[in-house]
Structure 1
């Protein structure tokens, strides 16, 4: 569109050149034209300029070889200082445009146009005919400059607009050293996991997502992206394979704009209604203002239909109201056609770094705490939410405080047709005890707007202990959780990590040995093997997770550890044990991931004969528990499950993380009893597509 508009402007005159300027007394004057009378100065300006172009313009070889006949249209300005500046050049060959710009840079400084005796700017357009023709000096008025007057205010504004354009410079990939987050996906973070976990580094890898500036201390993302660049000379090739769609940079700001795509089609062996598919289109914006202020925004519009087990889980999360489902990790979905979903999503945040040791973020998105695939403290499996986060890094410590505004969207807690708002605050302290050992301390509290207290200022203190505040605000005023994480660097190839979470703990019940329901805790043990078996970029990972029944639930059921009917920690809630095996490999632009999950879970029966809470549903009422003692993992409707997910593909554009991929999921889900919520399933789900990979999709329900 910009090109068409500019061409239209340039075609105003049939030959010679046209001019737009403020009301003037005298046009700009070449030194050769000083002796001319005012009425002839315009003709002299025309002839002198065309003569200069004829003597200095070198027709590019490509135009000579092609025997090209045509013209070059140039929009230029003579500013208040009498300097020539090209605003726009248009020609069939890029070489012709560049040559015209070169010639105009050679023009001497002349006497500027005047208005009321004061210098002012003037804009002209000119047509340079190819092959060149020598100009002929004539007094014929048809060759004179055609004038269109503009008021001086418009002239001033035009100067300001052009000055902004003059400030622009080639984009220097400033995002890779900014205070923006590196979009968090497990597969991409695996690319620099070993560098950040080398023995002796003072990095803190549990609180995610990372800032680009933090990663840049250990891994050069910019160099990695540049090393993957494809050789291409065309604009389309650069944008498709190497660059952002829009890249703008000036002295004090920069921004990029990219489309977001997730287009895939597949087949599920248990689906009778046809193929599975997803159609996501969106926009992703990143920007920096000055050196300490950054922002990003992503807006998605999506429709899709997934494998049967995925659809059933999405509909089991249904919120109050007419909408049939919540797409896990995304948000509420409307019905699309007969058996598909429409689910818009928006995420954004502002990042401000007032000092080198402090970063503040406010936005709508997700956070993650842990070194593993799962997190028992805080994960990114739920839908996005508003948050305020402070990261302070000093000495051998990183301290993260996060405040979140969450929603309970179940039918039985809706008030006046509106979803119930609840609040959550986290503290996480990461301490590098030695070159090899890291220890993290975690505390979290969930509370609701009971007694009209809203966002309780008691929890705004970034360093106070939540457990003490919860005790002083009332027994049911909040749900506090404590956690411990650790990581040990065995060597530069092997890391060991773990988490321990305590929701409620009774020492007398633990020592009593009767497996009390009050012993609500879980733990994680894991290991990562970097460049495994001396194969570069091969990561192997093994992880075990276990959470006892009733963990993350509460006797005030609105204080469950969840958002939009999805857990804020492990995807499976509680009452489970799980083994996860992962392999990740990348070679240049090629990548492959494999994941195997073996689990044992305990569900409720949810029948008229047995409506007890067996501890796997974190939304259920604890007072309806099956027993006070003898509580064990897997109790209730026991399910043994196995899942494998294999993905391979090609990275189309490293700058945007646009991928071509093929994904295969095999899932075997075998409950002891078939109920409305637990059905036997044996699924093979195959899909192919193209995706902008900037967040984690979890299919392992």
Structure 2
């Protein structure tokens, strides 16, 4: 029924409103958006990403500088062509290898390349990323927007990234992979969508990709740490609120093979329904309410009741016998005097006020919070942002009885990379010296309670939360659970990247990563350093900050 609905919608293009493509997650444009949104007094929502190009133009207009005028050329008054197009056909405009436009079609075609090399001090010795592909985006009749990107990749990551792969069977941020040259991985990266509008205020996007909810370095609600997934996203935008629905099909678990993942027979599926209401209390003050539910079983199948875009999921989940995993919470963003932005998130997996006030360590007190601040143009340095953030998540948060209902996709967390049972502090500075030069530095300090042997202390969200610490009587400990329980482990990371843009979206990076991890029981005591250099063309930068 849903497929028929979308086919009919596409065929009725004459009834659709104007649409645009999005800035992909990690796009350099977000550096500009972050600055201009805080400086602006407009009621612009940045909480749910990706963000559409059209809405960014509504925010900054023609005042985003040379880089943004090229990125938003289809909306701005900039009509400057390249002085000498290659062979008269390529790079007619600086931002696109191939650009075509007529009364019905607007088309942008670009190569996607990344060649990175890093020297590590671990057993791997050296790391690299080799990616080649293409990106295509455009609009039909200015009413249906489309986007696709496909890259073929080989990579060898530092040992601490490989440790995550070995424990989860999945490469962080990626999906299916095969072994490459003993210590490397080989994988495809694909994403794409079709975006169309029903009215001026309501639009829908059918795609394969991922989302990020929040204004911080991390998200405790929905992040991009896991693999891409098929989704339907419905956006409703008015002057007083933004309402977003995401319905997604996820992978409940994967199987490891001799040379990577074993995909024969198909992986079992599960489903997520998510909605977020962003209320514009004032142009500079936004408060959001969200709810999500994860569900599925070995027999598969959608639950029709969760497809209602305005239902209260928790109530439906209880009516079904409370077999699914529902999360609720809120977020906020408060921009103050065009210089400061305060933001935060509160996520509740389960909470009984009586148990919280009792302070006796009931295992079901599963909550997490984020609090952060950004300061724009401090010390008289224009285009500098300094940021501080704290994230704290209690034990057993996001976990459930099995892979069908825990808050994961492809064996990776849909929220924070550290899972649960942790406290994290982040300091970040981002400086855009010019369109060509930018710098970013991040210092992260985290503590988490790791499992001891096979005992589940609440950090690993893939484990059954009904099998917890033993109570000494053959059961599981109900009370006496504490934050950071288990083998307390400290993690410190420093990351710095300097980036030079040689031409539009062709970047040269130099970065350094320093990482130290140790625990109280002497099981872990590692130090890692990575010195890397990259050439990226239309490829977003990525950090392995975990």
TM-score range, shorter chain: 0.7 to 0.9
How far did 1:312 drift? 1.7
Could you give the per-residue CA deviations for residues 40-82 of structure 1, whole angstroms, max 9, x where no partner exists? xxxxxxxxxxxxxxxxxxxxxxxxxxxxxxxxxxxxxxxxxxx
- The 1:590–1:240 alpha-carbon spacing in structure 2 relative to 1, beyond 3 Å, is farther
Match of 2:410 in 1: 564
Q: Does 2:278 align with 1:436?
A: no
* Aligned partner (choices 465, 482, 485) of residue 632 of structure 1: 482
- d(CA) in 2 for partners of 1:199, 1:291: 28
- d(CA) in 2 for partners of 1:230, 1:683: 47
1:437 and 1:489 in contact (8 A); partners too: yes
Match of 1:646 in 2: 496
Partner-residue secondary structure (3-state), 2:354: helix
1:405 and 1:424 in contact (8 A); partners too: yes
- d(CA) in 2 for partners of 1:281, 1:508: 56
- d(CA) in 2 for partners of 1:700, 1:449: 32
Partner-residue secondary structure (3-state), 1:197: helix
Partner-residue secondary structure (3-state), 1:217: helix
Match of 2:473 in 1: none
* Aligned partner (choices 319, 330, 340) of residue 484 of structure 1: 330
Q: 1:227-306 residue pairs with structure 2 within 5 A?
A: 233=84, 235=86, 239=91, 242-271=94-123, 273-306=124-157
Match of 1:213 in 2: 54
- d(CA) in 2 for partners of 1:316, 1:693: 31
2:19 and 2:197 in contact (8 A); partners too: no
Match of 2:379 in 1: 533
Q: Does 2:306 align with 1:459?
A: yes
- The 1:426–1:488 alpha-carbon spacing in structure 2 relative to 1, beyond 3 Å, is same
- d(CA) in 2 for partners of 1:497, 1:565: 29
How far did 1:517 drift? 0.9
| TM-score, normalization by structure 2 | 0.88
Q: Does 2:339 align with 1:493?
A: yes
Gapped regions of structure 2 (runs ≥ 5):
1-17, 71-79, 257-261, 470-476
Could you give the per-residue CA deviations for residues 311-358 of structure 1, whole angstroms, max 9, x where no partner exists? 22122221xxxxxxx221011220112221111111111111232211
How far did 1:569 drift? 0.7
How far did 1:405 drift? 0.4
2:43 and 2:284 in contact (8 A); partners too: no
Q: Does 2:441 align with 1:594?
A: yes
Match of 2:213 in 1: 369
- d(CA) in 2 for partners of 1:653, 1:385: 32
| TM-score, normalization by structure 1 | 0.69
- d(CA) in 2 for partners of 1:533, 1:197: 17
- d(CA) in 1 for partners of 2:249, 2:69: 41
Match of 2:545 in 1: 700
- The 1:693–1:370 alpha-carbon spacing in structure 2 relative to 1, beyond 3 Å, is farther
Match of 2:34 in 1: 193
- d(CA) in 2 for partners of 1:579, 1:519: 22
* Aligned partner (choices 466, 486, 491) of residue 623 of structure 1: 466
Match of 2:76 in 1: none
- d(CA) in 1 for partners of 2:82, 2:132: 28
- d(CA) in 2 for partners of 1:269, 1:361: 44
How far did 1:534 drift? 2.2
Could you give the per-residue CA deviations for residues 348-405 of structure 1, whole angstroms, max 9, x where no partner exists? 1111123221121011001111111111111111110000000100121000000010
2:253 and 2:403 in contact (8 A); partners too: no
How far did 1:265 drift? 0.9
Partner-residue secondary structure (3-state), 1:459: helix
Partner-residue secondary structure (3-state), 2:404: helix
- d(CA) in 1 for partners of 2:27, 2:420: 23
- The 1:423–1:373 alpha-carbon spacing in structure 2 relative to 1, beyond 3 Å, is same
Q: 1:495-510 residue pairs with structure 2 within 5 A?
A: 495-510=341-356
Match of 2:75 in 1: none
- The 1:395–1:240 alpha-carbon spacing in structure 2 relative to 1, beyond 3 Å, is closer
* Aligned partner (choices 492, 509, 528) of residue 683 of structure 1: 528
- d(CA) in 2 for partners of 1:407, 1:671: 32
- d(CA) in 2 for partners of 1:693, 1:541: 26
2:19 and 2:196 in contact (8 A); partners too: no
- d(CA) in 2 for partners of 1:369, 1:195: 19
How far did 1:415 drift? 12
More strand by share: 2
How far did 1:416 drift? 9.1
- The 1:512–1:488 alpha-carbon spacing in structure 2 relative to 1, beyond 3 Å, is same
1:187 and 1:584 in contact (8 A); partners too: no
Structure 1: 4+ residue segments shifted above 4 A: 226-232, 414-417, 693-696
* Aligned partner (choices 347, 354, 358) of residue 198 of structure 2: 354
Could you give the per-residue CA deviations for residues 503-533 of structure 1, whole angstroms, max 9, x where no partner exists? 0111221121202111100000000111222
Could you give the per-residue CA deviations for residues 210-253 of structure 1, whole angstroms, max 9, x where no partner exists? 11111111124775327789985352898499231111111111
Could you give the per-residue CA deviations for residues 86-135 of structure 1, whole angstroms, max 9, x where no partner exists? xxxxxxxxxxxxxxxxxxxxxxxxxxxxxxxxxxxxxxxxxxxxxxxxxx
In our comparison, the structure showing a higher alpha carbon Rg is 1
How far did 1:692 drift? 3.3
2:272 and 2:294 in contact (8 A); partners too: yes
1:199 and 1:435 in contact (8 A); partners too: no
1:650 and 1:661 in contact (8 A); partners too: yes
2:491 and 2:516 in contact (8 A); partners too: yes
Match of 2:5 in 1: none
- d(CA) in 1 for partners of 2:308, 2:384: 43
Q: Does 2:253 align with 1:402?
A: no
- d(CA) in 2 for partners of 1:343, 1:689: 19
User: Number of aligned pairs?
Assistant: 505
Q: 1:91-106 residue pairs with structure 2 within 5 A?
A: none
- d(CA) in 2 for partners of 1:649, 1:236: 30
How far did 1:418 drift? 3.2
Q: Does 2:431 align with 1:581?
A: no
How far did 1:693 drift? 5.1
Match of 1:388 in 2: 232
How far did 1:696 drift? 5.6
2:127 and 2:158 in contact (8 A); partners too: yes
- d(CA) in 2 for partners of 1:600, 1:232: 55
* Aligned partner (choices 423, 443, 446) of residue 271 of structure 2: 423
Partner-residue secondary structure (3-state), 2:133: strand
